[in-house]
């Protein structure tokens, strides 16, 4: 619900359990942030902006206007006129000036949620959400700014975005655009963020928030392996079950900066938006710039509540398409099985064995096109290599389909190899600084997708392949960051638009793809998890979580990913051992159990693995079909973290009616002369009686306990023989 009190000049936005309040101040109509937190009944809260304290509002004390600007809790701050904290927006006029200040003009309350042109965003019907549009302007610059807030009726989320329009008589440049800002009192917060690198993405980091600026960011042209477009400020005592959290997640797949700044007055300014590094957008008269969306979550019930709020929002209001609420096919990918050394015969041999074991889709990875026998050529030449794919793609797909399997294919549409026919014909189609030798990575360059002719050419190549056969899955990869930021197609005064135009073009291509092929299952990938973000989830219901498929390494990666994203979004496979990334050997059972926490599939040569492992695949397939609906749709709870205790990992999923639950327990290192581990479960109905079954351990007898007993007193998991052991524990209501 959204309400405006005209007398108090206060806007009140209510979700089921939270309140967000905005106030209009002084005759100059400054827009201030009043409150964000637990639900309030009252609306008379403008006193929280402290405008009755020195330095007072400018109409009462204009001589200290600069001091007012530097401490007032602005809802969307500007820069250059006296607020020395991070600004929401930065501009440079045609004359070279940088100052701006916004004044409130009008508002509109809209049923439903307007689309953000050219950008992915959450969605909802007129019955599911309401949107507040606050219109502000700087008449001196000739700039109008629309602040958009959407309140969801079924989940404690407020989304924010910004639209900036040039209503003046001359152009100006945007040099910074944040999509959200919250000014609030410092509560001695900790800051929680996600960090990593290739093959170790999204590890959780928690640290004390001290004075000054703390940020996580990427200006690599992608949301990145290294940092993640997520930031949470949490109470010092926040746990999984209790404590205040203010969280932001960016629905964007390019450069970002998420920042928390503790000021001289013990306030905190929390911002999120496009990274200003090398960003400069020219806005001509009458033109508008639409900023991406930020998802904001507040809870006072700890990380489990925050996590399930994000999960519910993304499952119901971000993921789209035929697989939105549908079980995904179990696939086998040939990458770690064969790398580039495959042909039609080899792929069909894998498919025949896999289909007999219950696997449902074969995915042909890198190496099927052009002269691509190594990773040093042919990107951009998306033509089937019929020396390898003998009989052609249509024949291969038909033969796979005859086995009762679907067929999928890998592309890297955003890249170009110097050794390719496309590059030889169009060297200016690569992102490059004219006259400077390009920086290669993986012996490839990045296509300049700010040029529509490049987008159209690549899209048509990809679409032609998909039209040629019954292809039902695409893995869309992107294996390097952007460098040498320059475009032969953009004028000098628009070179600073390249990063953002690139991301918009990726969105355009994937939008076209999902519209032309609506039944396609699209899985995004970027060297593993470098572009695992809400922007990509809008187009693909799942994303390859990491190139590190080792079950033990995946514990920390999947824990950090599941902190925000539903389990159904995490591409997770059973791979061969010794693992190709770390050389570790783990039991086949454990690899399967860890992968069940995601989309589930295989990344190995099923014709070569030990017979003992091969014989276990039908059981894993059956377990996936038995529990995937629960894993995909249930509430997720973190019971224990191997990253914290260095001994074992444990998580739980609970069905919506609380009648079914699945607990995953992974003992990383065995310990001698220790007793069993007690785990206290969550989310159950205390009055229900549950049958507890250790699914993959016949040595542990079934037991019956009440939900009350399991949550308060706990369940005992015996010490398991050997390292890297895992157990699935199912709970079923007996009534």
Q: What is the CA radius of gyration of the chain?
A: 27
Instruction: Give the separation between CA 422 and CA 444, rounded to whole angstroms.
Output: 12
Q: Label residue 413 left, alpha or beta by phi (over 0 means left) and psi (-120 to 50 means alpha).
A: alpha
Q: List the one residue out of 189, 224, 244, 129 whose CA is nearest residue 499.
A: 224
* Per-residue CA distances from 284 to 281, 292, 496 (Å): 10, 20, 15
Answer yes or no: are the C-beta atoms of 380 and 420 closer than 8 Å.
yes
3-state secondary structure of 171: coil
Instruction: Give the separation between CA 40 and CA 32, rounded to whole angstroms.
Output: 18
Query: Taking the alpha carbons of 427, 432, 435, 440 in that order, is the dihedral positive or negative?
Result: negative
DSSP letter (8 states) at residue 86: -
Instruction: Give the separation between CA 229 and CA 258, rounded to whole angstroms.
Output: 7
E strands, 120-199, in order: 129-138, 143-152, 157-166, 172-185, 190-195
- What tokens does 326 get? 């549908």
The count of other CB atoms within 10 Å of the CB of residue 718 is 14
- What tokens does 529 get? 């998890």
242-270 core/surface letters (b: 16 or more CB in 10 A; e: else): ebbbbbbbbbbbbbbbbbbbbbeeebbbb
DSSP secondary structure string, 521-557? EEEE-BTTBTT-SHHHHTT-SEEE--S---HHHHHHH
Instruction: Give the separation between CA 375 and CA 364, rounded to whole angstroms.
Output: 15
Phi, psi torsion values for 708, nearest 5 degrees: -60, -45
Instruction: Give the separation between CA 148 and CA 152, rounded to whole angstroms.
Output: 13
Torsion of CA 629, 631, 636, 637, to 10 degrees: 130
DSSP letter (8 states) at residue 430: B
Instruction: Give the separation between CA 8 and CA 128, rounded to whole angstroms.
Output: 28
Q: List the one residue out of 546, 531, 495, 536 whose CA is nearest residue 513.
A: 536
Answer yes or no: are the C-beta atoms of 298 and 37 closer than 8 Å.
yes
* Per-residue CA distances from 94 to 100, 159, 167, 276, 513 (Å): 14, 33, 14, 19, 39
Answer yes or no: are the C-beta atoms of 564 and 543 closer than 8 Å.
no
- What tokens does 38 get? 């637990």
The stretches of 587-654 forming alpha helices (DSSP H) are 588-595, 611-614, 617-633, 642-645
Catalytic center residues: 477, 547
CA distance between the termini of the chain: 38
Instruction: Give the separation between CA 381 and CA 463, rounded to whole angstroms.
Output: 13
Torsion of CA 581, 582, 588, 590, to 10 degrees: -110
């Amino acid at each position: 619900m959204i309400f405006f009190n005209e007398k108090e000049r206060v806007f009140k936005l209510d979700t089921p359990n939270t309140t967000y309040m905005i106030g209009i101040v002084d005759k100059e109509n400054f827009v201030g942030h009043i409150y964000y937190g637990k639900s309030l009944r009252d609306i008379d809260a403008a006193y929280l902006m402290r405008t009755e304290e020195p330095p007072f509002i400018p109409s009462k004390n204009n001589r200290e206007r600069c001091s007012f600007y530097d401490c007032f809790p602005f809802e969307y701050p500007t820069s250059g006129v006296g607020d020395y904290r991070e600004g929401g927006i930065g501009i440079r006029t045609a004359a070279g000036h940088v100052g701006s200040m916004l004044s409130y003009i009008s508002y509109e309350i809209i049923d439903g949620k307007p689309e953000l042109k050219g950008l992915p965003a959450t969605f909802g019907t007129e019955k599911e959400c309401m949107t507040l549009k606050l219109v502000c302007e700087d008449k001196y610059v000739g700039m109008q700014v629309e602040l958009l807030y959407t309140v969801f009726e079924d989940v404690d989320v407020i989304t924010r975005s910004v639209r900036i329009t040039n209503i003046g008589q001359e152009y100006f440049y945007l040099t910074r655009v944040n999509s959200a800002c919250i000014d609030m009192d410092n509560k001695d917060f900790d800051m929680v963020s996600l960090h990593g690198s290739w093959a170790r993405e999204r590890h959780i980091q928690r640290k004390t928030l001290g004075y000054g600026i703390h940020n996580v960011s990427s200006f690599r042209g992608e949301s990145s392996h290294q940092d993640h477009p997520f930031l949470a400020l949490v109470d010092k005592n926040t746990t999984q079950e209790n404590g205040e959290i203010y969280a932001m997640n960016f629905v964007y797949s390019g450069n970002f900066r998420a920042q928390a700044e503790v000021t001289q007055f013990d306030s905190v300014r929390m911002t999120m938006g496009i990274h200003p590094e090398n960003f400069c957008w020219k806005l001509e008269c009458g033109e508008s710039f639409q900023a991406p969306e930020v998802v904001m979550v507040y809870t006072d019930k700890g990380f489990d509540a925050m996590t399930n709020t994000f999960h519910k929002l993304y499952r119901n209001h971000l993921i789209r398409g035929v697989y939105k609420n549908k079980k995904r096919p179990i696939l086998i990918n040939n990458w770690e099985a064969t790398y580039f050394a495959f042909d039609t015969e080899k792929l069909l041999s894998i498919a025949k064995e896999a289909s007999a074991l219950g696997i449902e889709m074969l995915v042909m990875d890198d190496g099927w096109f052009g002269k691509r026998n190594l990773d040093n050529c042919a990107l951009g030449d998306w033509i089937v290599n019929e020396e390898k794919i003998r009989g052609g793609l249509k024949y291969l797909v038909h033969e796979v389909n005859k086995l009762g399997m679907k067929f999928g294919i890998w592309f890297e549409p955003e890249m170009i190899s110097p050794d390719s026919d496309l590059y030889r014909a169009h060297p200016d189609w690569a992102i490059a600084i004219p006259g400077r030798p390009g920086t290669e990575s993986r012996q490839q360059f990045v296509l300049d997708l700010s040029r529509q002719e490049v987008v159209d050419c690549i899209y048509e190549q990809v679409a032609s392949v998909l039209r040629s056969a019954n292809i039902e899955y695409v893995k869309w990869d992107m294996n390097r960051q952007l460098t040498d930021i320059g475009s032969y197609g953009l004028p000098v005064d628009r070179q600073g638009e390249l990063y953002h135009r690139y991301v918009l073009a990726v969105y355009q291509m994937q939008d076209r793809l999902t519209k032309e092929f609506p039944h396609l299952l699209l899985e995004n990938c970027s060297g593993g998890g470098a572009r695992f973000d809400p922007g990509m989830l809008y187009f693909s219901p799942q994303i390859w979580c990491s190139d590190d498929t080792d079950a033990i390494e995946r514990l920390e990666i999947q824990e950090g990913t599941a902190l925000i994203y539903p389990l159904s979004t995490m591409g997770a496979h059973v791979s061969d051992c010794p693992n190709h990334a770390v050389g570790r050997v783990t039991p086949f059972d454990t690899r399967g159990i860890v992968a069940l926490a995601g989309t589930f599939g295989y990344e190995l040569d099923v014709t070569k693995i030990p017979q003992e492992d091969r014989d276990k695949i039908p059981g894993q397939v059956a377990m996936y079909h038995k529990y995937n609906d629960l894993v995909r749709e249930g509430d997720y709870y973190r019971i224990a973290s191997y990253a914290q205790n260095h001994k074992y990992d444990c998580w739980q999923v609970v069905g919506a009616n609380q009648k079914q639950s699945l607990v995953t327990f992974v003992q990383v290192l065995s310990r001698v002369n220790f007793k069993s581990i007690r785990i206290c479960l969550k989310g159950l109905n205390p009055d229900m009686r549950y049958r507890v079954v250790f699914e993959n351990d016949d040595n542990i007898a079934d037991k019956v306990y009440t939900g009350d007993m399991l949550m308060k007193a706990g369940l005992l998991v015996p010490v398991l023989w050997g390292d890297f052991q895992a157990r699935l524990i199912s709970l079923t209501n007996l009534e």
